[in-house]
Amino acid sequence: MTSNSLWDLRATRSMEPPRKNSGATGVNQATTLRAIWRRCPRVLRAAAIQAVQDLSRPSTANRRAIVLLLGFAVLWTISAEIRRAAVPLPSDMVEDFALSREWAIGYVKHPPLLNWITAAWFAIMPITSWSFHLLAMLNAALALGIAWLAAGYVSDPRRRIMNVALLVLTPVYTFHAANFNHNAISLTLWPLVVLSFFASIERTNLLWSILFGAASGLAILG
C-alpha cells in the first residue's frame, strides 16, 4: 500500500462517527434495572424471589405456575373491564356470542370450536362483559401454562421461567388476548400441538401419539 493510500485511509477513518461503547451501555442498563428493583417494595421483592425459587424446584414448579397464572387471568380480566368500561365489546366477540346461541357442526365464516367453547361457557356463567373477558384471559393463562409445560421438555428451569416471562411481556398474551376470537384461541391450540408432540416423542405409550393427532385436529377446528 502506498503512502497516499495510507493517508486516504486515515482521513476516511477520521471522518467516521465515534462508535458507541456497547460495554458502557450494558452497564448503564444494568444499573437502571437494579435501581428499579431497589425501588420496589420489599414485600414485592420477597414475593418475586420466592416465586422464582418455587418455579425452579421440580416439586413445586407446576403448583406455583398454576397460582401465578390464575392471578394473571384475574388481574387482566379486571384490566380489560376497566379499559373497556365505556365502549362496547369488539365485533368479533359479539359475533362469536351470537353464533354460539345455536349449536351447529359448522358456521358460515369460521371453524366451529370457538363457538362451541363460548356456548359451553355461557351455559354455566352469566352473560356479562366481565364473564366474557374472564373466558378470554383464562384462555391466555391456559396458553401460557401449556407453553410452560412444553418448555420443560427442552429447557432447564431458569430458561423455562424466562421463556414464559417473555411471553407475558408481549401484548398478544395480555391486551390482545382480551378479544376472544379465533386468533386468541390459537394461542392455546398450537402450543397444545407442540406439547403433545414433545410428549409423544418422549414417551413410548401409544396414547400420547393419539393425543398428538387429537390436538392437531382441534387446532384445525379452531
Residues 61-79 have pLDDT tens digits of 999 999 999 999 999 999 9
In this prediction, residue 20 has a pLDDT band, given cuts at 50, 70 and 90, of: low
138 vs 41, more confident: 138
- And the C-alpha cell for 157? 428451569
In this prediction, residue 11 has a pLDDT band, given cuts at 50, 70 and 90, of: very low
Q: Are 222 and 185 in contact (CB under 8 A)?
A: yes
Range in 8-22, 33-47, 128-142, 179-193 with the lowest mean pLDDT: 8-22
The radius of gyration of the chain's CA atoms, rounded to the nearest angstrom, is: 24
**Sign of the torsion angle spanned by Cα atoms 114, 190, 105, 112:** positive
Overall pTM > 0.85 = no
